[in-house]
Amino acid sequence: MSPPATKPFFIGRDPLLGRLGALYRGGRHVLLVGPADVGKSLLVEEFSRHHPLLVAPRCGCLGDLLETLEPAAGLERGELKLAARVHRLAAKLPTLGRPLVLDNVRRVPPRVAHLVRYLLIRQPVWLVTRSTLPLDIGHVWSFLFHFKRLDVPPFKLEETKAFLAGVDFAGDRSSLLASALRLHRLAAGHPGTLAALVDELRRRPYNLRTAEGLQLLALHARITGVEAQLALA
């Protein structure tokens, strides 16, 4: 799925970006929470355009972190064993002067949680996650009290309408806007899901006035999303 590269994706997000800016300047730990496709990662990406961040897109294991963070920290893998690489990285990261952002935080294993806990007293750490329930977020749950939580909400209907009005779309714009309420409900206000639906509407026409047409649109959008994920695997 390719979300719009234009500002419509960030409609209504200025207050959130402002709060992130204040927390950034204050050197705070941040917990960014929201459902899938609500735009958490894109929010971080947009924020990073003007504020230096060190972003790790995956943290399912130490290997994922090392593969991303060692090059960003100017470290070569060399012949070091895993434990030595982790200790070297833990010493290097606080010297870079950038918050560490762990995206897609889910079921964090003990060794990754141990690294996060070590860094908490040395530099700002941001966690981006769908859920803070213990079974969902994993072993970082016990020290979430260190973090300032920010929730990323779905679009309101008016924001969905503004999104549809501003997004790149060569088809029948009036029909698209007339279907704003249906599309808003179908996407549950999630910008990423809206983007996927608009992408699918670019490919072929659908009858947005019927339940069957909306269901078919949602199904094909999900299939396209799965195909895209498989192509990247």
From CA 75, how far away is CA 203, in angstroms rounded? 44
Distance between alpha carbon 4 and the CA centroid of its chain, in Å? 14
User: Which spans in the chain are helix H?
Assistant: 14-25, 40-48, 62-72, 82-92, 110-120, 134-137, 157-166, 173-178, 180-187, 191-203, 211-232
Q: Is pTM beyond 0.85 here?
A: yes
Domain boundaries, the chain: 7-151, 157-232
Sign of the CA dihedral 114, 124, 36, 45?
negative
DSSP-assigned letters across all residues of 27-61: T--EEEE--TTSSHHHHHHHHHTTS--EEES--SS
- Bridge partners of residue 125, in order along the sequence: 100
7-151 CATH fold? Rossmann fold (3.40.50)
Other CB atoms within 10 Å distance of the CB of residue 119: 17
pLDDT 10s per residue in the chain (233 long)?
333 334 777 888 999 999 999 999 999 999 999 999 999 999 999 999 999 999 999 888 898 899 999 999 999 988 899 999 999 999 999 999 999 999 999 999 999 999 999 999 999 999 999 999 999 999 999 999 999 999 999 999 999 999 999 888 888 889 899 999 999 999 999 999 999 999 999 998 999 889 999 999 999 988 887 777 666 55
pLDDT at position 11: 87
